[in-house]
Amino acid sequence: MPRTEKNIPAITKLLFHPSLLLLLTFLAMLLVSWRRWTSLIVDTGREMDLPLRLLHGELLYRDIHFLYPPFSPYFNALLYRLFGSQLEVLNVSGIICSLIIVMLCYRIARRILDVREVTLATMAIIVWCIFKPEGNLIAPYAFSALHAMIFALGTLLITLRYGEKQMWQNVILGGIAIGLAGITKQEFALTAAVTFTSGLFFVHRFNFRLMLPRLFAAAGIALVIALPVYAYFLDRVGWQTLIEDCHLLYTKIPASLVFYNSARTGLDHPISSLLQMLGGAAVAIGIASVIVLLSTWGKGNRRLRKNAGVILAACLVLAIAINIISRGRWDGSPLRALPIALVGLMLIHFFRKDAAKPQFALFVIAAYSLMALIRVVLRVPSGGAFGGYFLPTSLILIVYLTIESFPAFTQKIIVKDAEKDAASVVPFNIKSRFQIIGLTILGIWLMATMIVFGYRYRKTFPALIQAPNGSLYATAETAPATQEAIAFLLNNSGPADAVAIVPEGSSLAFLTGRYMPLRHQILIPDFMDEQEEIRAVEKLRTVKFALVINRPMREFGLEAFARDYYQKMGQVLQEEFHIVKVCGEVSDADPAIGNRRFFIKILQKNEGRNN
C-alpha cells in the first residue's frame, strides 16, 4: 500500500514537523556553543562596557566615541537597568534577536519555497549565519548590526506583504521599520529603504501616481522617527562631534578605516576580486553540472551528460587557475559570484511575465540581498565575522536556484534534445531527481557543518573564565592571561578605581566592574587627531592601572599601539607608569604588541606624579 499522509505515524509527523526541526537545530547549536560566543578582546568589549557607561550618566558621542547611530547602546543600557549589568543579559538578548531573525527568514522564504525547502533554507541560516564560530549573532561584533538587521529583514517582509495586498497598513509599517533602521545602523537603513522602494517600483512601475504617494508617506514616517533622534544629539554634542568625529554620514573617514574597508570590499585588489567572482561562478556551475550528471545517471541522454562533463571540466580548470592567480585571497567559495547571480535574478524576474513564478518576491528578495552585500560586493565572504549579517536571504535564494531554477532549466534542455533527436534522447522528468539530489547534497553539507562547528566551538574555546559581571569560555591562548588580569584587578583595585585598557579590551573593565574612562574604547589608528590624543593622555593620567593588551591592529594598516601610532600615549605610559605584572605565557619582562604569544601587561601609576 502506498505511504500517504494519512497513514504516516503521528510521531513521525511530529519529529519531522518544520517548526520542531528548526527548534531542535537551534537548540543543538546553542548547546554545543554554550557561552562560547563572546570574543574577549575584539569589538565585544565595547558592546559590553558602552551601555554601562551610558547607564552611569555619560553621553554617547561626547563622552564615548561611537561610529553608529544611538539605538542599540541605549537599548542595551535599558536592559542593564531592568535586568542587571551582566554579560548574560546581552547573551539572552542576542538569543532572542537570533530567534526573531529565524522567524523573519522563515516567513520570507515561505514566499518562494515550499515547507520542506524553506525548512532546509532556514536551518542553513541557523547554522551558517547565526552560529558560525568566527562571527555568531548571539554575541555580535556590534549589536547595532544585529538590531538593524532585524529592522531591515522586517522591512523586506513588509514589502513582500505589500506586494501581495497593496494595503496602506504595510506602507506605514515599512516607514516605521526604515526609521528604526535609520537610528540603528547606516547601511542597513539604506538596505531597508532601497528594498521598500524597489518593491513599490515593481508593483506600480506603470502607475507612478500610485507609487509616489506611498513612497513619500513611508519616507515621511521614517524621517519622523529618525530626525528627532539626530536633532537631539546635534543639539547636545554638535555637528563636529557627531558627523565629522564619529563619521555618522561617512564623511572624513580616517585612512585606517579606508584601508580596512578596501580589504573588506575587495577594492584593494579589484582585478583579483573580479576574477574571484568569475571563479565563484565557475564553482557554482560546476556543482550544478555534478547534480545534472547524478540526476541523469541511467537515463541515457548522452549528449546532455557529455555537455555537463565538459562544462564541469572547464569550470574545474578555470577555478584552479583563478585560485592560483589569487595567491591565497580566495578560498574557492562559490559565494563570491553572488552579486552576479542576484543581478541576474533581478533582471529576469523584473521583465519575465510568468504567473506560475513568484516574480515579485524573487525580485525584491534579490534586491535586498544585493544591497546587504554592498559593502563586500567584490569579495563576498564565506566566513569571517560579518557573513552572518549579509547572507541569510542569499542562502534562501541559493536553495531556490538549486531546487527550482536549475531543474527547470535542465528540463527544458532535455525536452529540446528530445524534439531534435527522439531516437537517442529519452525524455523524462528530471526535476524531481534534481530536487532530491540537490536537497540531499545541501542536507549532508548542513549536517557535516553542524558537526564541524560543534567540534570547533568545543576545541577552540575550552577554558572557563569567571568574573563578577559574567562568565564565558575563551581560547586556550587568551584564557590564562585574562584570568590573571581579572584576579589582579579584583585584588588590587576597587569599583571606584579607573582602569585604562589599550588598545582594545574594555571587556576586562566590564567583567570586573571597573571604570574605563577613555573616550575611545578601541584605539584604532588615525581615529584621534593630535588634540584628541592630548585629551586621552589627560584621561590616562587619572587612572591607577593601565592594561596593555597584545592586540595588533594590522587590519587597519599599522601594528602596534604606542610604537606605530598614538606615541604620546605610549610616552606617558613609559614615563609615568611602571610594570607590575605581565599576564600570560611570555618570557620577556616587557613584551611588545605583536609578540607571538598573547599577553596582558599591567602598569601602575608612579607615586608622586601629578594628575
282 and 244 within one domain: no
* 293 and 309 Cβ atoms separated by less than 8 Å: yes
Give residue-wise pLDDT tens across range 524-533.
999 999 999 9
Give residue-wise pLDDT tens across range 15-68.
557 788 999 999 999 999 999 999 888 888 899 999 999 999 999 999 999 999
Last residue of a domain, one of 390, 411, 426: 390
Residue 609 clears pLDDT 90, i.e. is over it: no
Considering only residues 291 and 120, tell me which one the structure prediction assigns the higher pLDDT: 120
Give residue-wise pLDDT tens across range 312-328.
999 999 999 998 888 77
Give residue-wise pLDDT tens across range 138-153.
999 999 999 999 999 9
Residue 331 clears pLDDT 90, i.e. is over it: no
Last residue of a domain, one of 363, 390, 417: 390
Query: Mean per-residue pLDDT for 329-335?
Result: 84
Identify residue 175 by its one-letter amino acid code.
Answer: G
Q: What is the pLDDT of residue 323?
A: 87
Query: Mean per-residue pLDDT for 229-246?
Result: 95
Residue 296 clears pLDDT 70, i.e. is over it: yes
* 336 and 279 Cβ atoms separated by less than 8 Å: yes
Q: What is the pLDDT of residue 423?
A: 53
Residue 437 clears pLDDT 70, i.e. is over it: yes
Q: What is the pLDDT of residue 418?
A: 60
* DSSP, res 590: S
Q: Is residue 444 part of a domain?
A: no
Last residue of a domain, one of 340, 361, 390: 390
Q: Is residue 453 part of a domain?
A: no
Residue 8 clears pLDDT 60, i.e. is over it: no
Using 50, 70 and 90 to split pLDDT, how confident is the model at 3? very low
Q: Is residue 380 part of a domain?
A: yes
303 and 238 within one domain: no
276 and 239 within one domain: no
286 and 180 within one domain: no
CA 353 to CA 597: how far, in whole Å? 61
Q: What is the pLDDT of residue 332?
A: 82
Q: Is residue 446 part of a domain?
A: no
Using 50, 70 and 90 to split pLDDT, how confident is the model at 6? low
Closest by alpha carbon to 583, among 540, 550, 544, 543? 550
Distance of CA 560 to the CA centre of its chain: 27
CA 81 to CA 4: how far, in whole Å? 55
Residue 91 clears pLDDT 80, i.e. is over it: yes
234 and 277 within one domain: no
119 and 216 within one domain: yes
244 and 103 within one domain: yes
Query: Mean per-residue pLDDT for 399-422?
Result: 76
Using 50, 70 and 90 to split pLDDT, how confident is the model at 2? very low
68 and 216 within one domain: yes
167 and 42 within one domain: yes
Query: H-type helices in 56-167, by residue range?
Result: 71-83, 87-109, 115-125, 143-164
Q: For residue 552, what are the domain limits?
A: 463-605
221 and 107 within one domain: yes
241 and 105 within one domain: yes
Query: Mean per-residue pLDDT for 451-466?
Result: 95
124 and 88 within one domain: yes
Q: What are phi and psi of 583, to 5 degrees?
A: -95, 135
| Number of domains into which the chain is organized | 3
